[in-house]
Structure 1
Amino acid sequence: MTDRTEGAGHRPAPVHTHPDDVSFLTALSALADPVRLQLIRELAGHPDWTLSCSNFHVSVGRAAKSHHFSVLRDAGLVEQRDQGPKRINRLRREEFDARFPGLLDLALRPDTVE
């Protein structure tokens, strides 16, 4: 019997950067993009591991959304794991806040848009 995780449909597990390994400029750059900010805000409004990538309604295509999630992972803001065919997400709020106190709170304020 073949494992369903093998073969053409299998994608590699996401690589995560811990916030302790992220520079301030990388964090700011990740939060400066309106699409990424929208993704972070949606994540902040939901419990961990409840939103799959397809649950986010942003004005970009699937490939661009994947890129934005990669930038957020590289900045230590998001952790992702595969659950069946879906990739589910968690905002790494506690870890990010420990590295950059107050930055995420500032980015999540409603008056911080454009």
Structure 2
Amino acid sequence: MKPALAVAPPTGPCALSTAITDRESDLICALIAATRHLEQARDRAVTPDTEAARYPQPITAAALRSRVLGNADRLRRALDDLTAPYEQTDRPLELTANYSALQGD
């Protein structure tokens, strides 16, 4: 039997996704929301030991490190696959005004 999570996972889209859905494509919306979630996780993570202490079942910092790095590799592969069709090697990438507006610039 799988143990209960300390915090229930969200159901449905997050507030950030809902706020930008009308302004962006599904792909851009998902990328922006994922980036913000990762930035929030980065900002609240203190050390592997303190993060491991949040688990309802004991987990070592070494095991947590392995899970974090494995999932980061998975994210990198997914991003590479996702962005490959958009890459142009014949000219530099340009940021759009929409991107700057969403970043609050």
| TM-score normalised to structure 1 length | 0.27
Bigger share in helix: 2
| TM-score normalised to structure 2 length | 0.28
With CA pairs under 8 Å and 6+ residues apart, which has the higher RCO, 1 or 2?
1
* Structure number with larger C-alpha Rg: 2
Bigger share in strand: 1
